[in-house]
Structure 1
Amino acid sequence: MNKAHVIEHLRFALEAQLTTAQAAAKTAHDTATHEENVAENKYDTLGLEAAYLAQGQAQRVNECHMSIKAFEKAFKEPSSTKVKIGSLVCLSDEDDVLNWYFIGPYSGGLKVTIKSISVYVLTPLSPLGKALLNKEVGDDVSFSAGEKTRLLCVASIA
C-alpha cells in the first residue's frame, strides 16, 4: 500500500466532509433566517430550533477545518519504525487477513478505498488506536471491543 496514495485519498475525503458540512450549515442558516420562520407567538419555536441547528452545523464546519489542519500536520510526519499519529499500519489477524489503518488525529472511522482495499482512520482514543501506539513490526496487539478480546499482529508500518 502506497502511503502517498492513502494521504491523497484522505485529503479528498476530508475535503468532501467539509463541503458537505458547509452545505448543511448554509441550509440551516437559510432556514433559521427565512421570513416564514419568524415566531408568531411565544410557543412557536421553529425559528429558534433552526437557529440551534445552524449553530451546530457551523460548529461542524469549524471541526472539519480543525481536522484538515491536524491531518496536514500528520501527513508531514516522517515514517517511523514505531506506530504514531501519521502512520499507515497493516495488521494481520489470526486468519492472516490483512487490514489497513491510518493513525489520525481526528475523524476516526473515516474510510477510503484504494484499489478495492479499505483503509480506516483510527485515532489514539479508540481501543485499537491506543493499543497500537509505539508498537513495531512483528509486535502483537491485544485490545478489547465490547466483551470480545482480539489479537492482531503488526505486519507493516509506513
Structure 2
Amino acid sequence: MAANNAHKAATDDQSVAETQYDTLAIEQSYLAEGQSRRVDEIRYAIKRLQSIPLTALQKKPEINIGSVVQLEKDIDKQQWFFLAPAAGGYRCKLAVQSNTINIVVITPQSPIGAAMMGKVLDDEISIQIAGKNITDFITMVN
C-alpha cells in the first residue's frame, strides 16, 4: 500500500518539477522503489520461513536451521538465538512463566550463525566482530 501511494505521488501531476531544483517526483520514485523492494524481501523471507520443515524444529544435537541456541555469556541475560533461513536481526521477547526470554533471529550467513552451524553442546565458537575476536561456548541447544 505504501509503495503504491509513493508510486502515485511520484507520477501525479502535482509532482511535476517546476524548476531544476524541484526533486519531489524523483524522491517519491526512489521511495516507491525502496518500498517495493522491501515488500519483495519480506515476501521472500515469509516463504523461506514457511519452508522450514517441522522436523527441523525438533530437538537435535547438532545446530542447524530451526535450532534455538544459548551461549554461555548469555545465560544471565536469558538471551537466545533462533537460527532461521531469513529475517536475521529480528528480535522478540517471550514470557515463559515468570521469566522473559530474549530471542534474536540469526541466519547461517551471519558471522555468529556461520560459527554455530554444525556445532553441538559445549562446543566453542569464535567470531570476529569489529576487529575483536570473541570466543564463547554453546550451553543449550533446542
**TM-score under structure 2 length normalisation:** 0.81
- Residues 58 and 34 (structure 1), Cα distance of their counterparts in 2 relative to 1, 3 Å cut: same
Q: Unaligned regions of 5+ residues in structure 2, if any?
A: none
Cα distance, 1:35 vs structure 2 = 2.8
Give the deviation of 1:52 after TM superposition: 2.2
Question: 3-state SS of the aligned residue for 2:86?
Answer: coil
Kindly indicate which of the two structures has a greater share of residues assigned to helix. 1
Distance 2:135 2:75 in 1: 11
| Aligned: 1:83 with 2:67 | no
Name the counterpart of 2:130: 146
Most deviating of 134-143 and 73-82: 73-82
- SS in structure 2 opposite 1:63? helix
> 8 Å contact 1:143–1:149 — kept in the other structure?
yes
User: Superposition pairs for residues 41-56 of structure 1, below 5 Å?
Assistant: 44-56=22-34
Equivalent positions of 1:4-153 (< 5 A) are 23-40=1-18, 44-74=22-52, 76=54, 77-79=56-58, 80-93=60-73, 96-97=75-76, 98-115=78-95, 116-153=100-137
Which sections of structure 1, spanning at least 5 residues, go unmatched? 1-22
Q: When the two structures are superposed, what TM-score results if normalisation uses the length of structure 1?
A: 0.74
CA distance in 2, matches of 1:96, 1:118: 11
Distance 1:27 1:103 in 2: 35
Identity over aligned pairs, percent: 35
Cα shift at 1:139: 1.0
